[in-house]
Structure 1
Amino acid sequence: MTVTAKITDDAGPATRIYGALTIISLALAAIMLPPLLLDQRRLDGIGVWLKPMKFSLSFCVYFATLALVENRLTPEALNGRPMRWTGMVIAGAFIFEMGYIMTQAGRAEHSHFNETTPHHSVMYMLMGIGAVCLVCGAAVVGWVARRDIHARFGPALREGVFLGLTVSLIPTLLIAGYLGRNGSHFVGFHPENAPVIPLFGWSLATGDLRPAHFLSLHAMQVLPIAGLLFDWRHIGIRPLWLVAGIYVLLCLALFSQALMGLPLIRL
């Protein structure tokens, strides 16, 4: 049987919300380019608008991934309650997260790790809840994709989508949870002018939790691509589980390295 709850007779055409959110995220990145170039204010040594732009581009990749999945689902799956409710939750979390990040950028204040006032503490807590909704929402989409037997997936791609959107849930929540409680990206002291990896800003002097977090988040792209390649080469499904297991172990290894205060690469 196909996934999801029973569809009512008056259910409209299949709603593809993630394609729309992809376009909105890309538009936000474009909108923030002028202030990034013109606003001279800096926070932690970088322009105040760089962070919201990076987040909007990250959301663009996230939503584009979900859009590619939803475009292969059947209308019945798309109109089912799991996809409808998940889409609304994810859209709400996205609006809140980007709204607060952009507001704080306009004020030249931190959005993350900012608990300087009760208001900021509450907002930071709500951002954490929103992030959990985004990760769990992706897992629901992966579950729907696996259950929708008439979706346009090859066997390995279906499994790759499922693994990428669900197996990444545990290491992502583990690493992100510790990151939020740690109060900083760094484990150990990162001197003000210490070297960092260009573009990413990851420390080359001390432990940095962001590489492990980055890797765990992007399982939702890596494992579906692996599944697509496996279908193309007629490799089968079982080796994909081995790839997923190795990927999770690599995430945990980078996490452990950061906890020991060791940078990803030491110069």
Structure 2
Amino acid sequence: MTRWHRPLLLMSAIMAVLSVISLFGVLLDHRTLDGLPIWLKPLKFTLSFVAYGLTWAWLLSLRRTAQRASRLLGNVMAIACVVEITVIISQVIRGRRSHFNFSTALDSSLYALMGTTVMLLMLVNLAAAFLVLRERQATPADTWAIRVGLVVSAAGLGVAVLMLPPTSAQLADVTTTVLGAHGVGVPDGGPGLSLLGWSTTGGDLRVPHFFGMHALQALPLVALLTRGIRDQAVRLRLVLTAGASYTGLVALVTWQALRGQPLVRPDALTLGVAGLLLAGTAIAVPLCLLPLRGGRVSPAATTPAPALEPAESADDAREAAAVEA
């Protein structure tokens, strides 16, 4: 863990402390905003930033090349997350909305600052993802778990862009001070799921945003959980199946949200597509476990999977050979 990106680790530690403070805020501060405890938003954001920071601190440690660029990108990620949560908590203390708020000049400026840091974070995330995508890990299963996780996570992060345009109702109301929304077909602040706040009466873009972003944790976790499988071809097929299924899930909840449909109230069409996705996964998993070529497995395929780490570079191999000679 000594190679992990230290500023991102520090950022994660700060977010962990702030999450505890936010939890106490939820329990002790009885103010509400849009029908939810006012400290719930910083609690969700800080917990998400803890996972985000730890994941990228680890991913950037897997780089064997362009390490200076990796350190710079990680530094920008950490700073952007700190700026974002600072604005959110500042607005909570003031009892104001942090997102989509144009009520006053100060509110507009703070939201503009958040928008700038979010766009910067998205660009830096894409650049860092490109660097890590090029890196080959110790096994193909590990490599593809990270690659698919990065792509789906970037798509989930991009869903936030869909929340920025004003709704038709906002455009029709010249007195509105709120521009942009995460609800589809319903105004923000209506009935929602406990703790999460996701709408129970209309579509909510926070659902695909959440599931998409956390592909970066879910798919490497699948690779980690399958490390006990000695056949590396089986591991790879399981990881690819998990990646395809998770991608299908993110696409499904995005489609559902854009149709103005609550996550907990799917219609027959959504249920049918979800059933096909589940059935396809249930069929694919047993097939993944079947050995290839009549059951013959190459010796290399039976090697236990090492920890998630970069594959040995050619320079490292030559150096090792020279030492042995």
* Normalised-by-shorter TM-score class: 0.7 to 0.9
Q: What is the TM-score normalised by the length of structure 1?
A: 0.79
Whole-angstrom CA distance in 1 between matches of 2:79 and 2:7: 12
Deviations 1:47-88 (A, max 9, x none): 3222112211111111122233345x36x55x8222121122
Deviation at 1:148, TM superposition (A): 4.6
Q: Give the letter for the 2:206 counterpart.
A: R
**Among 51, 57, 60, the residue aligned to 1:67:** 57
1:95 paired residue number: 82
After superposition, the Cα gap between the structure-2 partners of 1:43 and 1:216, relative to the gap in structure 1 and judged at 3 Å, is: same
Q: Any gaps of 5 or more consecutive residues in structure 1?
A: 1-12
Checking the alignment, whether the CA contact within 8 Å between 2:8 and 2:75 is kept in structure 1 is no
**Among 96, 103, 106, the residue aligned to 1:116:** 103
Whole-angstrom CA distance in 2 between matches of 1:191 and 1:109: 15
Whole-angstrom CA distance in 1 between matches of 2:30 and 2:110: 26
* Structure number with bigger Rg: 2
Whole-angstrom CA distance in 2 between matches of 1:27 and 1:15: 19
Identity %: 34
Whole-angstrom CA distance in 1 between matches of 2:109 and 2:251: 29
Q: How does 1:126-205 map to 2 (within 5 A)?
A: 126-148=113-135, 153-173=138-158, 175-182=159-166, 183-189=180-186, 194=191, 196-205=192-201
The Cα RMSD (Å) is 2.9
Checking the alignment, whether the CA contact within 8 Å between 1:138 and 1:165 is kept in structure 2 is no
Whole-angstrom CA distance in 2 between matches of 1:243 and 1:110: 38
Q: Any gaps of 5 or more consecutive residues in structure 2?
A: 167-179, 267-325
2:206 paired residue number: 210
Deviations 1:155-204 (A, max 9, x none): 3123212321234313431x21111225122112359663x322211122
Secondary structure at 1:112 match in 2? coil
Deviation at 1:100, TM superposition (A): 0.4
Whole-angstrom CA distance in 2 between matches of 1:131 and 1:193: 25
Checking the alignment, whether the CA contact within 8 Å between 2:26 and 2:37 is kept in structure 1 is yes
Matched, 1:17 2:7: yes
Q: Give the letter for the 1:260 counterpart.
A: R
Q: Give the letter for the 1:187 counterpart.
A: V
2:298 paired residue number: none
Q: Give the letter for the 2:219 counterpart.
A: L
1:10 paired residue number: none
1:221 paired residue number: 217
Whole-angstrom CA distance in 1 between matches of 2:124 and 2:148: 14
Q: Give the letter for the 2:163 counterpart.
A: L
Whole-angstrom CA distance in 1 between matches of 2:110 and 2:80: 12
Q: 202-211 or 179-188, which moves further after superposition?
A: 179-188
Whole-angstrom CA distance in 2 between matches of 1:166 and 1:121: 32
Deviations 1:191-247 (A, max 9, x none): 9663x3222111221111111111111111112122334444332446644543442
Q: Give the letter for the 2:251 counterpart.
A: L
Whole-angstrom CA distance in 1 between matches of 2:195 and 2:223: 29
Whole-angstrom CA distance in 1 between matches of 2:115 and 2:199: 23
Deviation at 1:107, TM superposition (A): 0.4
Deviation at 1:141, TM superposition (A): 4.0
Whole-angstrom CA distance in 1 between matches of 2:216 and 2:116: 20
Checking the alignment, whether the CA contact within 8 Å between 2:133 and 2:147 is kept in structure 1 is yes
Deviation at 1:122, TM superposition (A): 4.0
Q: What is the TM-score normalised by the length of structure 2?
A: 0.66
How many residue pairs match? The answer is: 248
After superposition, the Cα gap between the structure-2 partners of 1:193 and 1:259, relative to the gap in structure 1 and judged at 3 Å, is: closer
2:282 paired residue number: none
Matched, 1:49 2:39: yes
Secondary structure at 1:263 match in 2? coil
2:294 paired residue number: none
Whole-angstrom CA distance in 2 between matches of 1:26 and 1:191: 28
Checking the alignment, whether the CA contact within 8 Å between 1:142 and 1:161 is kept in structure 2 is no
After superposition, the Cα gap between the structure-2 partners of 1:14 and 1:62, relative to the gap in structure 1 and judged at 3 Å, is: closer
